[in-house]
Amino acid sequence: MSDIIRMTAAELAEKLSSREISAVEATRAHLDRIAAVDGDVHAFLHVSDHAIQQAERIDERRAAGEQLGELAGVPLAVKDVLVTTDMPSTSGSKILEGYMSPYDATVVKRAREAGLVPLGKTNMDEFAMGSSTEHSAYGPTKNPWDLTRIPGGSGGGSAAAVAAFEAPLALGSDTGGSIRQPAHVTGTVGMKPTYGGVSRYGAIALASSLDQVGPVTRTVLDAGLLHDVIGGHDPRDSTSLRDEWPSMAAAAREGATGQVLRGLKVGLVREFQGDGFQAGVKSRFDEAVQQLEAQGAEVIEISAPNFEYAVSAYYLILPAEASSNLAKFDSVRFGMRVQPEGGGTVEQVMSATREAGFGPEVKRRIILGTYALSAGYYDAYYGSAQKVRTLIQRDFNAAFEQVDVIATPSAPTTAFKLGEKLGDPLAMYLNDLTTIPANLAGVPGISVPIGLAPEDGLPVGIQFMAPAREDARLYRVGAALETLLDDARGHTLISEAPALGGK
């Protein structure tokens, strides 16, 4: 049944639960799809060789009458930043080639317990540093809408896997937009939860005060279903919040009725309305906002004067934290070891290993972070960036006194060509202009597809942000807009994606 792969996770889950489709059939359909198209897309770094056996076990448990989770038997793609006991975890880096973790990341463990079937590990920029997946040590992923273009980053593999119907659900991580920007450029849904809402245990750390794990899917409801599986307190992550969370899937289902839009106060950021946004991104965004207004939402312009400093603050805080986190790749306990010619001390071995094992962007950011933290510069750079963080939080606080959600384009442009920005790190960094503020403040953000830019026919997403802990609000609003747009269009946006030839 080839249309298995076209189903949403929610639809597939229903047919699994009614035993119309078996977990083995669902898994095989997706493995076949991966075999057919991933040579072109390169979303996966590793495809599981035992997913079918895991699916068989789900079918057996269901046949035995066991009560299984709502998503039991649904295949899942896992970003390679998340460690897994049964598949290698490299975080897109040569330094971790072949690394087999002795434990599962908490989100992976929870997904397994809920009966999801991990299909494989998805490609990413090395250690999640990038916005195009071109910094992967294993070659770039291609955008399923146009194979000559980037799928976003760092989680381009997860977004492309979902957009290319290689998996209905994927896990991502978002430090400055790595879930939301790939969603934007691939016409898919990506959610960065409130900082601390989802466990980071077993996520190979990039910048610990910014990293957050979240769902990558084709619909808002599917994201909510996966969020419900992976979210909640984890004693193994000391930044994990102890909150009791409402069901995000229930919020999405409630949102689809559209009631939430009546009287909803939507904030538009004045500072994000000038130049720097592609015309088609801007026009689709404006139309989506008009749709919200037509359903009774109230649009209010808000000012966030410090957002213009967010990218700068981010590129001080992230490298500083990354340079510290990546110090663990010391050639002693795990990962690559390179012997300098004629041998050497442990420090010389370490330096030779890190020179050989890290790619150019990782080196760039480690050196930048080392600079920002070094004596004499700390106050001017890292210290100042932390103050900007306070100012951005204050901008959010002031805005959320006036509005329920903030809406922005999810990124300034549609998918650019592979190679286009690779030689210009600063241009690459500006991709995350609208997504970075949420990470600095710890608030949740979701990207929902809203249409294609007229000039290039490529997907555009809208980002909604809400106060910390109000993740459910984003599912309500996101599902409301998604339903509105799908109804107006008569079909989903992703169904317009070009067919992939494959074999």
Q: Which of residues 192-211 bind another protein (CB under 8 A)?
A: 194-196, 209-210
Q: Is the peptide bond before 199 cis (omega within 30 degrees of 0)?
A: no
Query: Which residues, numbered 389-448, are part of the site for another protein (CB under 8 A)?
Result: 389-391, 393, 425-426, 439-443
CB of 360 to another protein, least distance (A): 8
Binding pattern to another protein, positions 365-394, x when CB under 8 A? -xxx-xx--x-----xx-xxxxxxxxx-x-
Asked if residues 177 and 201 have their Cβ atoms less than 8 Å apart, the reply is no
Specify the residue, 35 or 332, whose C-beta has the smaller distance to another protein: 332
The yes or no reply on residue 495 touching another protein (CB under 8 A) is no
- Using CB under 8 A as the binding rule, whether residue 86 contacts another protein is answered as no
Q: Is 323 a catalytic residue?
A: no
Closest distance to another protein from the beta carbon of 235 (Å): 7
Distance between CA atoms of residues 35 and 32, nearest Å? 5
CB 314 within 8 A of CB 322: no
At 409, phi and psi to the nearest 5?
-60, 145
Residue of 106, 217, 126 whose CA lies nearest to 170: 217
Token pair listed for 401? 């006194």
Provide the 3-class DSSP secondary structure of residue 452: strand
- Give me the 349-368 binding string for another protein, x by CB under 8 A, dash otherwise: xxxx-xx--x-x--xx-xxx
Interface with another protein, residue 171, by CB under 8 A: no
Candidate list 148, 346, 455, 501; residue touching another protein; CB under 8 A: 346
Strands 445-452 and 189-192: antiparallel
Query: One-letter amino acid identity for 154?
Result: S
Q: Which is nearer to another protein, 21 or 428 (CB)?
A: 428
Catalytic member of 91, 136, 154, 323: 154
Type of residue found at 144: P
> Which range in 44-52, 141-149, 271-279, 322-330 contacts another protein by CB under 8 A?
322-330
Pairing between strand 189-192 and 265-269? unpaired
Scan residues 300-319 and list those touching another protein (CB under 8 A): 306, 309, 311-313, 315-316
Whichever of 279 and 346 has its CB closer to another protein, that residue is 346
Range 100-139, binding another protein (CB under 8 A): 100, 102-103
Shortest CA distance to 439 belongs to which of 205, 276, 208?
208
Q: Cβ closer to another protein: 277 or 381?
A: 381
- Is 79 tagged catalytic? yes
Concerning whether 121 is annotated as a catalytic residue, the answer is: no
Q: Which of 358, 340, 350 is nearest to 94 (CA)?
A: 358
- What sign has the CA pseudo-torsion 141, 144, 145, 151? negative
Query: Among residue numbers 240 through 269, which ones bind another protein (CB under 8 A)?
Result: 241
User: H/E/C letters for each residue in 96-114?
Assistant: HCCCCCCCCCHHHHHHHHC
Min dist CB 368 to another protein, Å, is 6
Among candidate residues 101, 131, 136, 178, the one labeled active-site is 178
The nearest distance, CB 475 to another protein, in angstroms, is 20
* Cα separation, 502 vs 36, whole angstroms: 5
Asked if 71 is part of the footprint of another protein (rule: CB under 8 A), the reply reads no
Contact stretch for another protein (CB under 8 A) within 121-129, 237-245, 284-292, 452-460: 237-245
Residues near 381 by beta carbon (within 8 Å), at least 6 away in sequence: 316, 320, 371, 372
Chosen residue from 331, 410, 414, 434 binding another protein by CB under 8 A? 331
Measured from the CB atom, is 257 or 348 closer to another protein? 348
d(CA 50, CA 308): 48
Distance in Å, CB of 383 to another protein, minimum: 6
Any idea which residues carry the catalytic annotation?
79, 154, 178
